[in-house]
Amino acid sequence: MKVMMMRRLVLLASAAWLLAGLMEHAAASSDRLTIEHFEYSYEPTGEPIVRLTLANEDTASANPTLSVTLKEAYSSGQDAYLYRKKGTTKPATISMAPGETRAVTLPVDKLLPYGDYEALVNISDKKTRSQERFEFTVSEQNVREAKLKMQTNHVEGLRSEPSWYRRKWLPFGIVATVIVCLSAIALTLQSRRDSRRRND
């Protein structure tokens, strides 16, 4: 009796292991998913989005998780460009049939200022990860139009970050303003003291 039960347990364990292997084989990995199109764009309301066209080239279904990191290019002063993070999208998991091509739209958390950018598109599943890089440019006109549409449609809670140039010089502007104000106050006080001495 015990021998029969042990055999059944062994058979059940073997069947479970085989089924798990078949399911793992049937699931497409992220390296079989390709991005056929990338675009940084805007909703009709002016809110920024990323549009992707994703293709599952495998013969199995896929459930990839997508996320995008957007980085602004800036000069390092040595004839080279570096990148700093400016925006992201929330991770989104989608289901794809074998051989399916699908358009995906991901909201961006910030309205990007005009400039040159790179986008790092991350595709991951339970076992593998892959990343594709794209370059794009945001024009000053695009930003103006997006802001106008957001104002017209009363979109709140989303703001454009200041450009690297404005952020670089903003502290100097604040310090200069403080110095001018303090100098004006000092001159006013000195003028009053001189006036009192002459009167005395």
CA distances from 79 to 66, 112, 114, 176 (A): 33, 24, 21, 30
Q: pLDDT: is 127 or 175 the higher one?
A: 127
Give the alpha-carbon dihedral of 112, 114, 120, 123, to 10 degrees. Answer: 50
pLDDT tens string 69-98: 999 999 877 778 899 999 999 999 999 999
Q: Is residue 18 part of a domain?
A: no
CATH assignment of the domain containing 59:
2.60.40.10
Residues 96 and 169 in one domain: no
Mean pLDDT of 173-186: 71
Q: pLDDT: is 50 or 198 the higher one?
A: 50
Residues 154 and 167 in one domain: no
What is the per-residue pLDDT for 4?
A: 57
Count of structural domains, the chain: 2
Q: Which residues pair with 93 in a beta bridge?
A: 65
Tokens of 152: 């017209």
Q: What range does the domain containing 40 cover?
A: 28-159
Residues 155 and 175 in one domain: no
CA 168 to mean position of chain CA atoms: 22
Q: Is residue 15 part of a domain?
A: no
Weakest mean pLDDT among 108-112, 118-122, 177-181? 177-181
Model-level pTM?
Answer: 0.64
